[in-house]
Structure 1
Amino acid sequence: MASSYGTDADKSSLRSNYLAARRTIPARTRIQSDSSILSALKAFPIFAEAPLVLTYVSRAAEVGTLDLIEAVLAEGRRVAVPRVNRDEHAISFHEISSLDELVPGTMRILEPAADVPALDDPAQLVGSVCLVPGLVFDGDGHRVGYGGGYYDRFLAFYPGDKIGLARTTMLSSNPLPTDGHDVPVDFIATEGGVWSCRGR
């Protein structure tokens, strides 16, 4: 895996460094990487067979999910994406049938309209997979995100498989700093395939 900025780096420093590094990746390289990540996911049975996919809606230089959302919907599978509640520092997932249903929400991120009901019963999520964003991941599935703790709060009670999406430049060979509330992902999907973080 790519080298991180050291085991003594705190989350704030890592966040700044990886955000800066991500901005330097040419758009064409990002598009090629994201296409390879999507291909790896499609070949991964846990993802390919999940009837419901929870996924973030990508923006800027994040690993792209818009093509992925359209591909999953075209297969006749279900997709749910998050709405952000900044007051509670929480996210909830809401089912969509088209990208056209999304509207600009918190921080201008595309999300479902306010009247779309949430999948708020854990029983509704059994058998699903959740695609998790991050700036950098380590081999144990720990991640550094944007600092709000939104995903960790959701994942603490999520019953399905958690898959981080990462270009190889977003992988750390050093353990990342963690807090008690951090929830690691179960798998990481990269350009080269999907590998397990369990049992490490």
Structure 2
Amino acid sequence: MEKKLLRREILDKRGKLSKNEHYINSKKIIEKIFNSSFYKSADTIMCFISFGDEVNTHEFIKKSIDESKKILVPITIPETRELKLSHLKDFNELEIGHYNILTPKKEFTRYTSPEEIDLIIVPGVVFDTEGYRIGYGGGYYDRFLSDLMDKPKISIAFDLQIVERVPREDFDIPVDYIYTEKEIINCK
């Protein structure tokens, strides 16, 4: 199936989760991350800020900051189609930015090198068990991740977002693990 159709189909399914299912399943997924050796050993974590009906990362980010983890959040630069990272010290430093995604306010933007990352939490819409993903179509993450092949990459998704196989391009970068409410998929 073509990427656009698959993306639309899964977004539609994800959008039909009840608020309660979304809350409970997000909580289960995030707990798995907190209990992982990746999280426990990481000092610096890159995590996307969820929006809409994505697995909710807001509490994960807040708790991680409380636990003295250095949290880096992505800032999208549409003109160059690149991702930059900003060190987030408090969830209140965010405002609505490009694509209606929370992003650091100008005065709280603290650009940080990707080299510091110990763990990357990668968003997406559709995933297969080999770690390939379909995002929202901007290609931001594939370009960004191509320089960070040695860093552990975990995607978080609801079980309904896993399919047998996603269409692939040469530049697609797979993640290492996918955490769902039902299982942890080792994609290696």
TM-score range, shorter chain: over 0.9
CA RMSD between the two structures: 1.2
Superposition TM-score, scaled by structure 2 size: 0.94
Residues 142, 171 of structure 2: 8 Å contact kept: yes
- Is residue 2:171 matched to residue 1:163? no
Per-residue CA deviation, residues 14-64 of structure 1 (Å, 9 max, x unaligned), is 011111111111111000000000111111101222111101101110110
For residues 14 and 182 of structure 2, the distance between their equivalents in structure 1, rounded to whole angstroms, comes to: 19
Structure 2 residues without counterparts, runs of 5 or longer: none
Residues 39, 119 of structure 2: 8 Å contact kept: yes
- Which residue number in structure 2 is paired with residue 179 of structure 1? 169
Superposition TM-score, scaled by structure 1 size: 0.89
- Is residue 2:60 matched to residue 1:68? yes
CA drift of 1:193 comes to 4.0
Matched length? 186
* Moved beyond 4 Å, runs of 4+: none
Residues 41, 193 of structure 1: 8 Å contact kept: no
For residues 183 and 191 of structure 1, the distance between their equivalents in structure 2, rounded to whole angstroms, comes to: 23
- Which residue number in structure 1 is paired with residue 81 of structure 2? 89
For residues 87 and 196 of structure 1, the distance between their equivalents in structure 2, rounded to whole angstroms, comes to: 35
For residues 192 and 43 of structure 1, the distance between their equivalents in structure 2, rounded to whole angstroms, comes to: 15
Residues 72, 86 of structure 2: 8 Å contact kept: yes
Structure 1 residues without counterparts, runs of 5 or longer: 1-8
| 2:134 maps to which of 127, 135, 144 | 144
Per-residue CA deviation, residues 133-179 of structure 1 (Å, 9 max, x unaligned), is 1111101000011001011111111241110001111111x211001
Greater RCO (Cα-Cα under 8 Å, separation 6 or more)? 1
SS at match of 1:175: coil
- Is residue 2:104 matched to residue 1:99? no
For residues 67 and 183 of structure 1, the distance between their equivalents in structure 2, rounded to whole angstroms, comes to: 27
